[in-house]
Amino acid sequence: MNPSKHKMSVLSQICKLIPGNLVPKLAREYGVSGRSRSFSPWSHVTALMYSQLSHAISLNDVCDALKNHAGALASLREAVPPSRNGLSHANRERNADMAEALFWAMLAHLQSTHPNFGLGREYCGLPRRFKRAINVVDSSTIQLFANCLDWAKHRRRKAAAKMHLRLNLQSFLPRCIIVKAADTHDSTEAAELCAGIQPGEIVIFDKAYVDFQHLFALHCRGVFWVTRAKDNMIYEVVGQQTVPHGNILRDERIRMLASKTAEAYPEELRRVEAKVKVDGKDKIMVFITNNFDWSPNSIAELYKARWSIEVFFKEIKQTLQIADFLGYNENAVRWQIWTALLVYLLLRFIAQQSKWKHSFTRLFTMLRGVLWSALDMFSVLKCYGTARGTRMRASPEQSYLPGMAPV
């Protein structure tokens, strides 16, 4: 089975998933149009999307490839190839808030035009008995290879950006993302990350995000949360919630004793101490939550589902291009990260429309290999795993060339 032909290249088909009026509208809204001359905002977005889809490692890599395919690029809403200095200047000077707005606008567009977008990709380790929305909050550090970036100074000789994320486990799509320098503690971003969570929903996060004032605010909003207890937490046991059994060592109701934490969280908490499997070995973990109805095993399973966010970070950081940056100032880094998220979103949409059942990495590599080919991208994906070519046999008498067989 061979892929069917198409009048546009695969790159054009991917880019045209973005509505034609969206990028110009956002460019005017964020003041980018006034700073653009020959290199339009749409050409800028296209160039950065190509850099992600092709794994380009430098400005010259992007510019030379687009210049060599200038004709095919022009058919994509009159996009033009950039010069090296032009692309560098655009990444440095054009407002990166536009790239962030473009991601959220595309997510809203795809979910409004295709209400089922995201369904069917839920995390395999998600506890099935929970029907309400489950959110996971975590962060991932993105190392930068320059040690002189004042905006992203992380340690004495290192620089890094950090992506704070709230992921919906049912759809495996982001609901809140913060990209900034890695110079603040995770707990300072907790309130902003959880601002959109609705009453009755569940949020899970690591102990790095524990802020008792924020936890109590979630409790007052009717949001259920699960996290790990800090080792230095000072508390008193008020009573036993359930009788320990199996891997559950303790299930207690507690109250905070330290003056600041007791003032920040004046009500009772639930503390569950459980033995869980980590890399095939038993490890004792302590969880705290504001829910007193779930079984203690459900609490441990909910926290275990938090690891699903690492799958998302792996797909973004290892499959897409967030290892080699085209610029190292804050604006350029933000443009590249938000474009990577945009490409991830579009590829997830393509995967759902094509009923792709394999890995995200394999989807990416199949499309990357035919970016400039005039093939239907959905038919390309249908060819995955199809055996083609000459059938071979192992019998010696058939291993000779025609006319060369022994008499």
All structural domains of the chain with their residue ranges: 10-100+328-382, 126-313
> Do residues 66 and 12 lie in contact, with contact meaning Cβ atoms separated by under 8 Å?
no
CB atoms within 10 A of CB 302: 24
270: enclosing H helix or E strand: strand 269-278
pLDDT digits (tens, 9 = 90+) for 222-274: 999 999 998 889 999 999 999 988 889 999 999 999 989 999 999 999 999 99
> Do residues 94 and 331 lie in contact, with contact meaning Cβ atoms separated by under 8 Å?
yes
pLDDT digits (tens, 9 = 90+) for 98-128: 999 999 999 999 999 998 887 765 555 666 6
What's the pLDDT at 126?
Answer: 63
pLDDT digits (tens, 9 = 90+) for 66-101: 999 999 999 999 999 999 999 999 999 999 999 999
Percent of the chain with pLDDT over 90: 56
Which pLDDT band holds residue 393 (cuts at 50, 70, 90)?
very low
More confident position, 368 or 130: 368
Name the nearest CA neighbour of 86 among 100, 67, 104.
67
Mean of pLDDT over the chain? 86
Q: What is the largest CA-CA distance in the chain?
A: 98
Name the nearest CA neighbour of 322 among 335, 331, 310, 311.
335
For the residues 315-344, what does the mean pLDDT come to? 85
pLDDT digits (tens, 9 = 90+) for 269-295: 999 999 988 777 888 999 999 999 999
CATH fold of 126-313 reads: Transposase Inhibitor Protein From Tn5; Chain A, domain 1 (3.90.350)
What's the pLDDT at 364?
Answer: 93
Counting beta carbons within 10 angstroms of the beta carbon of residue 213, is it exposed (0 to 12), middle (13 to 18) or buried (19 or more)?
middle
